[in-house]
Chains A and B, each alone.
Chain A
Amino acid sequence: MLRSLSVKYSPLLTRIRPGGRALSSQPTSSLGCLPTTDSPVVSKLAFFNSVTGDDSKIPSYRVLDGFGIPIEGAEVPEISEQFARRLYENMQLLPTLDNILYNVQRQGKISFYMTSYGEEAAVIGSAAALADDDEVLAQYREVGVLLWRGFSLDRVMAQCFGTHEDSGKGRQMPVHFGSTQHHFHQISSPLATQIPQAAGVGYALRRDPERRSKNVACVFFGEGAASEGDFHAGMLLASTLPSPTLFLARNNGFAISTPSSQQYYGDSLSARGPGYGIDTIRVDGNDVLAVMNAVKEGRRRCLEGGRAVLVEMMTYRVGHHSTSDDSFAYRGRQEVEDRKKIDNPITRFRLFMESRGWWDKTEEEELKSRLKQDVLTSFKRAETLKKPDLAELFSDVYAEEPWNIREQRKELAGLLEKYGQVWEPWQNDLKIFKDEGKKLAD
């Protein structure tokens, strides 16, 4: 019995190629299906390991090549010059803002910052494909979405400097933006927690007669965050319940120092989409027109089907993870310089615009100078502003103030009264707050 088994299976074993076998090469079954399923019965023992059906990698969708020229067969979207300028201006505003705030952190004026270098097309392109009132749940490298939606530089500065103008009342680290007005849910540091939340936001949209078939919930996350259990949970819920949730993955090659080769073994995040039964696409994340096309179509499918859709944007994190990171500790400078030259999302789009006669060197200089001025003006203004009332340390924990928080607030108020006038460190520390600590006793 065993001998006959080995004879039967050895030809099979020699036919297995590295990379796994594809199912599409198997003959269609005349043996029927498993009960209550559409799963055809087969007699040949075979494992499968390919999403594309023929061992090839999942393809990446692109419109423009490295020089901004439409590739063969490109589906160039019909956009006006005005729209192209808006895209380009935002793609330049982002690094202009990043340059200044990165240096501001280095000068010790803000505690922390994260840049979006290299990902301008991914973020601005996807923002441009969404409706302004699609609910966005982001991770931390998507301030470009807010800029596209008109979030002011003053509000950016307010949050990063933690001034009394910050809607978040200075409670979180820089880049943890949020804006009800712009349908941008508050950023939180724990990774991937926003993903199942987005499935819930999508369900709320599905249930609301005034927003169903008009809006989607859109969630951004990196390829590292997608390793968290919350990613799996969110995908399951949005695909199964279902809810109209658009999953936008920024695959930028790194999770702090961990390259994607150490983050997953499969064919990137796109391979997971079909695992959840959802429409998926992988796109050149540094091609703003491709990103726009892909996200637009993804959004349309999401609305029509009321179900999760996955768009994976392949890009590259040119900058460090954050101001607490020096990425040259784990990658060569040459690699970064090469990517900045050969695959620069801003350059690629500028060349496209120039080829259309929509841009030139003078406008480039004017734009850069104007944007820099705008950013510097708001930065300088934010520097002068006070932090929120110290009393805000204790508010908003609950909708009302419970006894324990009230007592603790009064306890601190008492301590400030006793020591605040005579203890110099406290005297100095109190001055930065709008109320100088005086509102604690209210």
Chain B
Amino acid sequence: MLARRLRSKFPALSRRWQTTASTTAIEPPPAGGHSSSVASSQLFRITRESALRTPGISWQDEESDRNIIGGRETRKMNLYQAVRDALSIALSKDDTAVIFGEDIAFGGVFRCTMGLAEEFGRERVFNTPLTEQGIAGFGIGLASMGHTAIAEIQFADYIFPAFDQLVNEAAKFRYRSGGHFSIGGLTVRTPTMAVGHGGLYHSQSPEGFFMGASGLKVVIPRSPIQCKGLLLSAIRDPNPVIFMEPKILYRSAVEQVPIDDFSLPLSRAEILIPGSDLTLLTWGTPVYHCESALRLLNSPPPSLAPLIPPSLRNAKVELIDLRTILPWDVETVVESVRRTKRLVIVHEAGMTGGVGGEIAAEVGKRAFLRLEAPVRRITGWDVPAGLQFEKFNMPDAVRILDGIMETLSY
């Protein structure tokens, strides 16, 4: 088709690594927030060897049938640099690919598109007027012509004007035309979740609203390597994908990231820490609070020790990152719960109508007789994200710890 013809006319740059400029110049204090608990996580792959061995990596270069990692390089990147790296690869290899949204051209309010307008030109990396419904509609139109449309919604809190275009049009595009029209080339990126000072309108996690929009995919990465691989998969997936990037991780999450073109699979959850006594399922920023909760459980500090029964301290909790929220990896989750018999789900979004309810119902159906405790959801409360109260609204390590203990001792 058209897209393929264009790609064959402009062969991939063989020395693409020269064009990805480092963006680690001195910068003012981060508007995107910073989390020290995230920054000190053991879950990041901070060596070249561990990064190259990321499970599920599928190399996308010309020699991808040889799964050789020997000569491959990695570079230290935070999450926004990983986004940028993925976008640069996408535009290098696919001439129909364009990136657009508010403030994209100068580099983006979170620096995800730094230097891309200079590298690929203003016809391919450009600002749109301030209209989310327009951005989504425009992206759908582009994608309907077989082009790769990478749209940005500046904050997930502002995705709602685009809701009609995404739910009524994008999700149903293939189905309503009997498969003759489709918009697989559409990817909508958006910063999501709390950042420490965002208040009601810079902290939301709207993934739950899209669960009913069958036809869409929703993906949420937890780290730079995950972000780059999942974003490249999302861009290339033949379905429209909403890619929600936890904004507090833009600077706080740092890893060695392979600089080559690679993808990670969609609709596959990842077991980060294997366990046998309880399944702890989450995605995005709470992954790190869960990690902290497990540390507190296994080796509690003196102040908490009296509240943590010694019998529970040896519990082996299996930590799973869901990664793709829709369609979600029911197999991995249920297989885990059938082993551990207990499930705790953690998400920032509010309890009612959150994704946790959907997962709990499905797991309840498939593992009912195996469960030894009700599925427990630890979430933001059913309130808007009040500014001063954020620390007690979003689930933190202690709240997660408490929920784990309750479920273990049910």
Contact = CB atoms under 8 A, between A and B. Distances in A.
Interface of A: 135, 137, 166-169, 171-172, 176, 178-180, 185-186, 188, 190, 193, 195-205, 207-209, 217, 229-230, 232-234, 236-237, 240-241, 392, 395-400, 402-405
Among A168, A169, A398: residue with most chain B CB under 10 A: A398
Contact of B126 (A197, A209, A241): A241
A178 B145 contact: no
Nearest to A181: B180
B180 A186 contact: yes
A212 to B, nearest CB: 11
* A-B interface, 7 closest residue pairs, ranked by CB to CB distance from nearest: A200-B141, A196-B137, A233-B134, A204-B145, A197-B141, A399-B238, A169-B178
B188 interface: no
B176 A172 contact: yes
Given A190-B168, A405-B214, 10 more contacts: A168-B178, A186-B180, A196-B138, A200-B137, A200-B138, A201-B141, A201-B142, A204-B96, A237-B129, A397-B214
B120 interface: no
Contact of A195 (B137, B144, B182, B184): B137
Interface size, B (range):
35 or more
A400 B267 CA distance: 12
B215 interface: yes
Among A135, A172, A207, A240: residue with most chain B CB under 10 A: A207
Given A199-B138, A237-B131, A398-B174, A403 B169 contact: no
Given A168-B178, A180-B181, A399-B238, A229 B129 contact: no
A234 B131 CA distance: 9
Contacts of A135: 145
Nearest to A187: B176
A204 B330 contact: no
Contact of B140 (A197, A397, A402): A197
B179 interface: yes
A199 B137 contact: yes
B24 to A, nearest CB: 32
23 contacts: A137-B141, A169-B178, A169-B179, A171-B175, A172-B176, A185-B144, A186-B173, A188-B168, A188-B176, A193-B164, A195-B137, A200-B144, A200-B149, A203-B98, A203-B138, A204-B144, A204-B146, A205-B145, A207-B147, A237-B134, A397-B214, A399-B182, A404-B330
Contacts of B161: 229
B141 A217 contact: yes
Contacts of A167: 177-178, 180
A233 B134 CA distance: 5
Contacts of B331: 403
B123 to A, nearest CB: 7
Nearest to A200: B141
Nearest to B165: A193
Among A202, A230, A240: residue with most chain B CB under 10 A: A230
Contact of B174 (A208, A217, A236, A399): A399
Given A203-B142, A399-B239, A402-B267, A186 B129 contact: no
A21 B195 CA distance: 51
Interface string B200-229: 000000000000001101000000000000
Contacts of A196: 131, 133-134, 136-138, 140-141, 165
A400 B182 CA distance: 12
B181 A204 contact: no
